[in-house]
Amino acid sequence: MPNKSLFIKLSSPISYKSGCYYGKHSWLKLVSALSEKRPIILAAPLCDYSDEHFLFCDDRSNIKIFPLPFYDRWFVFYINLLKNPKLFLNLVRQIIRSSAVMLRVPTPCVSILAITCVIFRKPFLLFISGNIRRQSDSLAKSVANRRLLLLFLINLRINLHALFGRFARKVYVVSTEIALDSFSKYVNAKLFRTPVIRNSEIINRSYQDDLLTRDLLRIVRISRIQPSKGIKELLVATAKVAETRKVILDIYGDFPDPIYRKEINDLITEIKHSQYIVTLKGWINHDSVLSTLKNYDLHVVSSKSEGMPRVCLEAALMKVPQVLTPVGGIPDFYKDQKTAFIANGTTVSDIYNALETAITSKNIKQIVLTAYKEGLGSTIDAKVDEILNELT
């Protein structure tokens, strides 16, 4: 007989040490919160323990772990699934034993598991975390023939998600861009900003009025460091800001591509001067983001493509002003000079103009407080009941 368990599959790896489970994906905080109200079966790759991971449950928690092998490439996962059909059958059994299912894109095997939900009449929610066509750096860097193949595979994947999303109780998307791209034929797509913070994590801090009078402007960027994130444009734009005031730009994130790392380092060497200090801070653990953000005057997203950056919500709840490019779900959740400063585009001049608008704004305190109040409605604690109510 099915129990009241909620089955959730994630592709982000978790680790186990001394009776505790750790992970580095912010979704695990949501999983932990859901387990306070309902038993959870979590299917996720199990790998070696890492200091970068945060604790999200232990052996006494209301979460049963269904361990999966860890593969760093999605196609390797499918190859091994074909070699080991017992693994797939065990996944299907977990769904059958559960009363409801949550699936997230991008995650390998989502379409297959959605079919299983349809066959066995299990209510499921589908969360689409990004626009996989526009966010594909691999697609952007590919030569013509490979690009056509990748585009075909991506379009096939999007159509499969749309097809099976038709049977979901609800499809949550992080931008209208995704809804129009994939789900325009279906009425069950809903905008949803992924919750990443619990109310207890919010650090209460006041906000000082304006930036114009500050002798030193501290700017932060937190993301993976790759071409789609607009890091080069950000560097040139902030260097221009530093012509009239001292600027510190700290960039947190890892470099997937060593060649791109060299390009960024070379650009920093070329444009740095006494008024402009740039530091590549490296990877930042998820549980350190809030305490890090509070040390800065401005948070900037300079991306050329995005889903909906989770760090935007974290910055809003830390009362840090934001300069954002109008990509992905950003225009859906943030309004220019109401809750953030939205650039007109993604060029150097667009980012520079938005930075100057923020710096000279006389209304920045009200903008920050409005973003904070709206952000409170998207905390994990605010969203848990909404998610569970869709599955009852």
Residue 180's pLDDT is what? Answer: 63
Contact call for residues 193 and 329 (beta carbons, < 8 A): yes
Residue 381: pLDDT band by 50, 70, 90 thresholds? very high
Annotate 227-249 with b (16+ C-beta within 10 A) or e (fewer): ebbbbebbbbbbbbbbeeeebbb
Straight-line distance from the first to the last Cα atom of the chain, in angstroms, rounded to the nearest whole number: 17
The region of weakest confidence among 190-199, 312-321, 366-375 is 190-199
**Spatial distance between the Cα atoms of 353 and 369, rounded to a whole number of angstroms:** 22
Q: Average pLDDT, stretch 85-110?
A: 88
> 292 pLDDT exceeds 60?
yes
- Comparing C-alpha atoms, which of 8, 210, 10 is closest to residue 125? 8
Q: Average pLDDT, stretch 120-143?
A: 70
CA distances from 12 to 8, 29, 64, 67, 87 (A): 12, 13, 16, 12, 18
Q: Check the CA dihedral 141-145-147-150 and report its sign.
A: negative
What 3-state class would DSSP assign to 124? strand
Residue bearing the bigger pLDDT, 194 or 151? 194
Residue 1's pLDDT is what? Answer: 39
> 246 pLDDT exceeds 60?
yes
> 90 pLDDT exceeds 50?
yes
Residue bearing the bigger pLDDT, 180 or 243? 243
**Spatial distance between the Cα atoms of 179 and 131, rounded to a whole number of angstroms:** 9
Residue bearing the bigger pLDDT, 45 or 179? 45
Residue 88: pLDDT band by 50, 70, 90 thresholds? confident
Q: Average pLDDT, stretch 139-168?
A: 69
Residue 162's pLDDT is what? Answer: 74
Residue 98 has what DSSP assignment? S
Q: Average pLDDT, stretch 151-160?
A: 71
Residue 73's pLDDT is what? Answer: 72
Q: What percent of the chain has pLDDT over 90?
A: 54
Q: Average pLDDT, stretch 369-386?
A: 93
Residue 264's pLDDT is what? Answer: 96
Residue bearing the bigger pLDDT, 177 or 191? 191
Q: What percent of the chain has pLDDT over 70?
A: 88
pLDDT by residue (tens digit) across 9-60? 998 889 999 999 999 888 899 999 999 999 999 999 998 877 767 889 999 9
Find where tokens 């740039």 sit. Answer: 278
Please provide the average confidence, as pLDDT, over all residues in the chain.
86
**Spatial distance between the Cα atoms of 332 and 37, rounded to a whole number of angstroms:** 30
> 136 pLDDT exceeds 60?
no
Residue 179: pLDDT band by 50, 70, 90 thresholds? low
Residue 337: pLDDT band by 50, 70, 90 thresholds? very high
Residue 137: pLDDT band by 50, 70, 90 thresholds? low
Residue 67's pLDDT is what? Answer: 92
> 340 pLDDT exceeds 90?
yes
Counting beta carbons within 10 angstroms of the beta carbon of residue 275, is it exposed (0 to 12), middle (13 to 18) or buried (19 or more)? middle
> 159 pLDDT exceeds 50?
yes
Q: Average pLDDT, stretch 310-337?
A: 94
Find where tokens 């809003």 sit. Answer: 316
pLDDT by residue (tens digit) across 217-232? 999 999 989 998 999 9
What 3-state class would DSSP assign to 60? coil
Residue 350: pLDDT band by 50, 70, 90 thresholds? very high
Counting beta carbons within 10 angstroms of the beta carbon of residue 186, is it exposed (0 to 12), middle (13 to 18) or buried (19 or more)? middle
Find where tokens 């953030």 sit. Answer: 340
